């Protein structure tokens, strides 16, 4: 292959092209002084995206994940808390469940999951690409509906007052650094035991000691999860209620009307290696070690929309994953394909479609939120109401608005209650999943 460097001749051609259009200089001055977002903002698109919806759910105020990757927990817990507060007619419309509680158990379970993956690859070379992948990100902060399901079914939930946020659960950078360093230290020790011809049973016994150390570390950062608590609330009539000494799992089973295990996760990943109508799972992706892989059924985008609309009409918000950073504005809380005139301002073209963006890793699931409304015109959606978890400062008191065209391009997955799902889709969901490589574009982000 004859490689070519950047030559003076090429640079001269670049300069000539740039200076051939006077608009380039005008737009350059504007972007240099004000930044691309403000210069390219399409105010007509902003005006067209107003917060009125024909179908809407009252979900109370938004929550705030702060400086963490807990969006998937917040979205799922928002779905669960709505079911609890509405069924109990709670006076406190801003009742919250403890995200810190789920956060603690997710960290512990992911630590065990990582160490089990280290044991399963213990005979591989340290430079094997799968081992390198595991060591690159031992305990990831992101997650999805299926991971939340495993946690809540095993550990239950608690009100936020029973395990409030800590300094670290609101800013998890240091915890992640410490925990990942410990996991790599543990991986080294376990692999050395294998080279010393220690049995797998002895290695797993040592792994349990490592998890005891991990639990201790997590308690220092997040506090120890409560084993029992008193559930107390006042209803809209002013009557006070108390359920004494209830365990988190008892609380979940008794009071939660939303059971995540009753949902299916449908994705829209148009790709040659992932035909529609098939289920998929991802190697080394999970938290709780069991025999049930986290799986996804790949379907057409209109199927996601139709089922999301059905669930909203049924009074349930919809947890979904998307590529939130594309064609969106945090302050205005708008996600719209016409929001920015990037091509005009930069005098260039962006012409990849959804399939191509996923294939070339220009897009992927980066954030989880919930749909709480949709505006239907002649039965068809043109905009969606979104509950975010970035506090009230973002968007319209924390709520976003999404155009239907943005849904087409950047929404990638939804969690739908089985009661809204047609029989043929439920049957397809029961297929054994095709196991994808851990670096596949369907793989773990958030």
Just list the catalytic residues.
71, 367, 388
CA 372 to chain centre: 17
Q: Are 83 and 152 in contact (CB under 8 A)?
A: no
d(C-alpha 250, C-alpha 259), whole Å: 13
- The CA-to-CA distance between both ends of the chain, in Å, stands at 39
Token pair listed for 199: 């049995």
Helices 145-155 and 248-255 cross at an angle (nearest 10°) of: 110
Question: Residue 233 in contact with residue 245, Cβ under 8 Å?
Answer: no
Contact (CB, 8 A) for 230 and 159:
no
CA of 7: how far to CAs of 4, 18, 107, 152, 224, in Å? 8, 17, 51, 59, 61
Please state, in angstroms and rounded to a whole number, the distance separating the CA atoms of residues 402 and 414: 15
The token pair that represents 275 in the structure block: 């035909």
Taken as a whole, the chain contains a residue count of 446
Q: Tokens 């998929």 belong to which residue? A: 280
3-state secondary structure 5-28: CCCHHHHHHHHHHHHCCHHHHHHH
Cβ–Cβ under 8 Å, residues 166 and 236:
no
Chain position carrying tokens 């050395």: 192
Beta bridge partners of 362: none
Residue with tokens 């300069």: 15
Q: CA 250: distance to chain centroid?
A: 27
Question: Among the residues of 96-128, which ranges form H helices?
Answer: 99-120
Q: What is the CB neighbour count within 10 angstroms for residue 222?
A: 22
Of 232, 251, 234, nearest in space to 242 by CA: 232
Contact status, residue 75 vs residue 368, Cβ threshold 8 Å? yes
């Amino acid at each position: 292959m004859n490689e070519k460097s950047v030559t003076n001749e090429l640079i001269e051609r670049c300069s000539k092209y740039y200076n051939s259009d006077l608009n380039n200089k005008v737009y350059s001055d504007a972007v240099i002084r004000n930044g691309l977002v403000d210069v390219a903002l399409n105010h007509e698109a902003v005006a067209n995206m107003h917060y009125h919806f024909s179908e809407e759910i009252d979900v109370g105020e938004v929550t705030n994940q702060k400086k963490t990757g807990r969006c998937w927990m917040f979205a799922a817990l928002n779905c669960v808390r709505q079911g609890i507060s509405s069924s109990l007619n709670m006076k406190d419309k801003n009742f919250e469940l403890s995200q810190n509680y789920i956060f603690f158990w997710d960290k512990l379970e992911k630590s065990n999951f990582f160490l089990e993956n280290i044991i399963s690859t213990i005979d591989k070379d340290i430079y094997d690409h799968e081992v390198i992948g595991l060591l690159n990100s031992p305990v990831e902060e992101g997650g999805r509906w299926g991971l939340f399901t495993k946690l809540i079914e095993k550990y239950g939930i608690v009100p936020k007052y029973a395990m409030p946020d800590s300094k670290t659960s609101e800013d998890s950078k240091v915890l992640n650094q410490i925990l990942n360093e410990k996991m790599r230290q543990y991986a080294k020790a376990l692999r050395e035991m294998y080279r010393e011809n220690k049995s797998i049973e002895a290695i797993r016994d040592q792994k349990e000691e490592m998890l005891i150390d991990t639990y201790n570390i997590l308690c220092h950062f997040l506090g120890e999860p409560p084993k029992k608590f008193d559930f107390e609330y006042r209803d809209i009539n002013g009557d006070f209620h108390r359920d004494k000494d209830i365990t988190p799992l008892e609380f979940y089973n008794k009071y939660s009307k939303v059971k995540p295990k009753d949902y299916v996760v449908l994705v829209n990943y148009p790709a040659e290696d992932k035909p529609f109508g098939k289920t998929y799972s991802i190697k080394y992706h999970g938290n709780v070690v069991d025999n049930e892989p986290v799986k996804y059924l790949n379907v057409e985008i209109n199927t996601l929309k139709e089922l999301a609309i059905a669930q909203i009409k049924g009074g349930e918000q919809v947890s979904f994953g998307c590529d939130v950073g594309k064609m969106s504005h945090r302050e205005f809380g708008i996600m719209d394909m016409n929001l920015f005139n990037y091509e005009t301002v930069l005098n260039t073209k962006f012409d990849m479609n959804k399939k191509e963006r996923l294939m070339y890793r220009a897009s992927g699931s980066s954030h989880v939120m919930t749909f709480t409304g949709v505006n239907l015109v002649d039965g068809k959606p043109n905009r969606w109401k979104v509950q975010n978890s970035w506090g009230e400062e973002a968007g319209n008191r924390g709520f976003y608005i999404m155009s239907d065209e943005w849904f087409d391009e950047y929404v990638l997955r939804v969690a739908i209650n089985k009661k809204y799902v047609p029989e043929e889709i439920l049957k397809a969901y029961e297929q054994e999943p095709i196991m994808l490589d851990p670096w596949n574009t369907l793989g773990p982000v958030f």
